[in-house]
Amino acid sequence: MAKSRKLADLQQLLDRVQATLPADAAVADLRRAIASKQAVAVARGAKLVAKHNLRQLAPALMAAFDPFLIDPIARDPNCLAKASIADALYRMDCREIELFLSGIRHFQLEPVFGGRQDTAPKLRSICALGLVRANYEDVFVELADLLADPEAPARTAAAQAIAYSENRERGVPLLRLRIRVGDTPTVLADCFTALLSLAPHDSLSLVAGHLDASEPEVREAAALVLGESRLPEAFELLRAWWERTFEPNLRSTALLAISMLRSKASVDFLLAFLAESAESELRGAAAALELLRPNAELWQQICTLLAARGLHPDTLSERHRR
């Protein structure tokens, strides 16, 4: 009861702080909340520090972090405080390597119905970015471990951090290994994206090879990443995939990915598709066409082509949703 009253008092204090920041008195009260050792209040306080870029409170955040590593399930369930502290320090470009190392190595298995669940992937993910930004010399040792993390969100974060590093020499081999070993479609998508950002031309064939993966979700992920890349060479890869794909949803994905390229070749292909394809095929192009709507001149061409066939883009979208 006393603990809940203390937390309620801290929440009221933080309400006042939030309304009056960055006044000096509010900053002093915020410092007191961060030192409270109440995880919920500390987490909220850390977010306010980051929002207002109160770098003078960075030492207070750092001092608050380590105590939550002791008996962490009781003191900081769901890693709320630790993740918020790490995120605030990262956002303020505080290069606290020791704190980020503690965070990226932290696992917190909390009891849930039927077993235990790790609540620290978000913390590990934030700390990965923090170590990259801090130019930690052994960051790729930590990222290699994170890329093999038991939790998919952490592996996704590892791929994103590798891309953020812009280190082709050390990042590409890790990403290629993760892709070759296999993973969930979501993790693979981030690995594809990271790989194409670091070594676009050398990685096209590896990513394109997954257009024929056994899992439809992986095929879709590879197609959309190729579209997002806007690499000119991706057009022929996607066009060829569209031609050899017969599943309607995947054909729609192929058209969407082609539209994402925004190249002359991709636009010419889509215009020819609109002019020549059966109406049943056109319905699958609804999402692809929506991407082109902001280009007024091109949109007029699309509307004219469809009008000649007694159709309108909005009608296609409605039919596609049915």
Instruction: Note the pLDDT of residue 249.
Output: 94
Q: Where are the domains of the chain?
A: 13-136, 235-322
* Amino acid identity at 186: T
Instruction: Note the pLDDT of residue 1.
Output: 44
Give the pair of three-digit tokens for residue 181: 């070993």
* Phi, psi of 238, rounded to the nearest 5 degrees: -75, -40
Which has the closest alpha carbon to 288: 309, 305, 304, 273? 273
pTM for this structure?
Answer: 0.91
Instruction: Note the pLDDT of residue 278.
Output: 83
Report the C-alpha gap between 152 and 154 in whole angstroms.
5
How crowded is residue 137: how many other Cβ atoms within 10 Å of its Cβ? Answer: 9
Instruction: Note the pLDDT of residue 313.
Output: 78
Give the pair of three-digit tokens for residue 224: 């959309």
Instruction: Note the pLDDT of residue 201.
Output: 94
Instruction: Note the pLDDT of residue 7.
Output: 84
H or E segment to which residue 174 belongs:
helix 168-181
pLDDT in tens, the chain (322 residues): 456 668 888 999 999 999 999 889 999 999 999 999 999 999 999 999 999 999 999 999 999 999 999 999 999 999 999 999 999 999 999 999 999 999 999 999 999 998 999 999 999 999 999 999 999 999 999 999 999 999 999 999 999 999 999 999 999 999 999 999 999 999 999 999 999 999 999 999 999 999 999 999 999 999 999 999 999 999 999 999 999 999 999 999 999 999 999 999 999 999 999 988 888 788 888 889 889 999 999 999 999 988 888 887 777 655 445 4
Instruction: Note the pLDDT of residue 281.
Output: 84
Instruction: Note the pLDDT of residue 3.
Output: 62
Is the peptide bond prior to 22 cis by the omega test (within 30 degrees of 0)? yes
